[in-house]
Amino acid sequence: MAEIVYPPVIGALRTMFRMLDMKIDIVGAEHIPTTGGAVLVSNHISYLDFIFAGLAARPSGRLVRFMAKKEVFDNKISGPLMRGMHHIPVDRAEGAGAYVAALRALKAGEVVGIFAEATISRSFTIKEIKNGAVRMAAATSSPMIPVALWGTQRLWTKGRKRAIAQRHIPITILVGEPMYPKRGEDMDAHTAELRRRMSELVDKAQRGYAEIPEGVWWQPAHLGGSAPTPEEAEALDAAEREAREAKHG
């Protein structure tokens, strides 16, 4: 397919990163194949995660097609960009359509990016994850590759003001070894193993980060930060869901 939008967007972002003197450390990029379909599964701590998870595939020369909620495509600014980069819209009321589109992309040899937690983790730890990524990988005989991002939450995350123009922010991107789920195998067991690997990668990224101050909002509670615990984060998410449902009747 024609790539008119994606390369210029990457170029503009790289220029912005240089201007902000953003320290981006990518480790394990060799795990992403240079050809063929692959499922990239990243943790989700920021509204900008698709940008940085996509950078993980750049050393392999790949462009990632991310699955993102339909509302992003409906926006008059982000919508044309998302469609131009051939990302995949997800309508939560009609999820089957997005799943089929992702399978089609994988069979065509594309790299599909998924945030298996579905929503941003306020605790900055791995939430419960869906098994969609595992099922896609198994159905298309594609490798499934876990990715951990850290530092992106400092730029823009749920409940915090945007700080995209901050300078000198370190960003860590860790790419784990591929998993190869097969048809007929236990999808729930593979999903549990994927979550374990993602948690391990995120912990490694957190503990090896260039800055580990105590008490800051962007540090998880178990490492001395003031972010909500997983239990507190779940309560906040539940309250948000209730408020949204009440608003829409």
Summarize pLDDT for 111-123 with one digit per residue, the tens.
Answer: 999 999 999 999 9
Of the ranges 6-15, 85-94, 163-172, which one carries the lowest mean pLDDT score?
Answer: 85-94
Summarize pLDDT for 67-83 with one digit per residue, the tens.
Answer: 999 999 999 989 999 99
Cβ proximity of 67 and 112 under 8 Å: yes
pLDDT at 249: 67
Apex CA 106: angle with CA 184 and CA 2, to 5°? Answer: 175
Average model confidence (pLDDT) across the chain: 95
pLDDT at 226: 98
Of the ranges 18-32, 49-63, 85-99, 149-163, which one carries the lowest mean pLDDT score?
Answer: 85-99
Strands of 111-114's sheet in order across:
23-27, 170-175, 144-150, 38-42, 111-114, 64-69, 88-90
Q: Which fold has domain 6-247?
A: Glycerol-3-phosphate (1)-acyltransferase (3.40.1130)
Question: How much of the chain, in percent, has pLDDT values that exceed 90?
Answer: 92
DSSP 156: S
- Sequence ranges of the domains in the chain: 6-247
Summarize pLDDT for 203-230 with one digit per residue, the tens.
Answer: 999 999 999 899 999 999 999 999 999 9
pLDDT at 1: 73
| Placement of tokens 């790299």 in the chain | 111
Q: Among the residues of 56-179, which ranges form H helices?
A: 70-74, 78-84, 95-107, 132-140
